[in-house]
Amino acid sequence: MKRNEVWKLVALLTLCWAIISTSLASYYYVLSTIQPSPSSMELGRVVLIIDYGNKTVQIFNLTTTLPSSLFNLTVAVAEVEYSTFAGIEGVFIDSINGVSSDYVNNRYWTWWIWNGEEWVEGPVAADLYMVGEGQIICWYYSSFDPSTFISEKPHLRIYTMELRE
């Protein structure tokens, strides 16, 4: 190899190294700004309920790192199919554990938060909702009235008690 060709090869390898290292540095910088730092994450307890609307209910008492989206927690315990739509923020849950939305009979998966007295419908899409410590959340395969846009509430009642020494 000629001396001139060796310098061209060294220059090319140096350029490749610079591009790769800059790309990796940029990737890890973006990743660190998107994900919460480990110091801001802590373990928390959440109860996740899946009510299939036919008296079949699954209850998951989860200990997980918070903050975490409801969607991520659901995917961790169930097989989930979902859709996204252009111009609409968030995901639409099509199916949980093989139970799919029934467009003919207006039955869909909705999610609810237990506020201590009653079920309150989730305010946003599951991937946009960050679950908090001690929350009780229910996925409910519910009837939906297309004329009023009102979903049927879960029929489950939650009872809590305080233990004292």
Tally of domains within the chain:
2
Question: How distant, in Å, are the alpha carbons of 109, 140, 152 from that of 53?
Answer: 10, 7, 10
The domain that contains 111 carries what CATH number? 2.170.130.30
Q: Which of 92, 112, 103, 107 is nearest to 154 (CA)?
A: 112
Regarding whether 67 and 11 lie in a shared domain, the answer is no
- Residue 123 has which token pair? 């305010």
Torsion of CA 155, 115, 124, 108, to 10 degrees: 0
Q: Is residue 159 part of a domain?
A: no
Regarding whether 62 and 15 lie in a shared domain, the answer is no
Q: Is residue 163 part of a domain?
A: no
Listed in sequence order, the residues at least 6 apart from 69 whose beta carbon sits closer than 8 Å to its beta carbon are 126, 127, 128, 129, 130, 131
Regarding whether 27 and 43 lie in a shared domain, the answer is no
Regarding whether 67 and 3 lie in a shared domain, the answer is no
Regarding whether 14 and 94 lie in a shared domain, the answer is no
Regarding whether 137 and 82 lie in a shared domain, the answer is yes
Regarding whether 30 and 44 lie in a shared domain, the answer is no
pLDDT value for 27: 66
Question: What is the per-residue pLDDT across 48-87, written as a single tens digit (0 to 9) for each?
Answer: 999 999 999 999 999 999 889 999 999 999 999 999 998 8
Query: Residue 81 and residue 95: Cα distance in Å, rounded?
Result: 5
pLDDT value for 33: 52
Sorting pLDDT into bands at 50, 70 and 90, what band is 28?
low
Query: Residue 2 and residue 10: Cα distance in Å, rounded?
Result: 13
Q: Is residue 162 part of a domain?
A: no
**Domain extent at residue 44:** 39-151
Regarding whether 105 and 79 lie in a shared domain, the answer is yes
Regarding whether 80 and 30 lie in a shared domain, the answer is no
Angle CA 110–112–114, to nearest 5 = 165
Question: What is the per-residue pLDDT across 117-150, written as a single tens digit (0 to 9) for each?
Answer: 999 999 999 999 999 999 999 999 999 888 887 8
Q: Is residue 164 part of a domain?
A: no
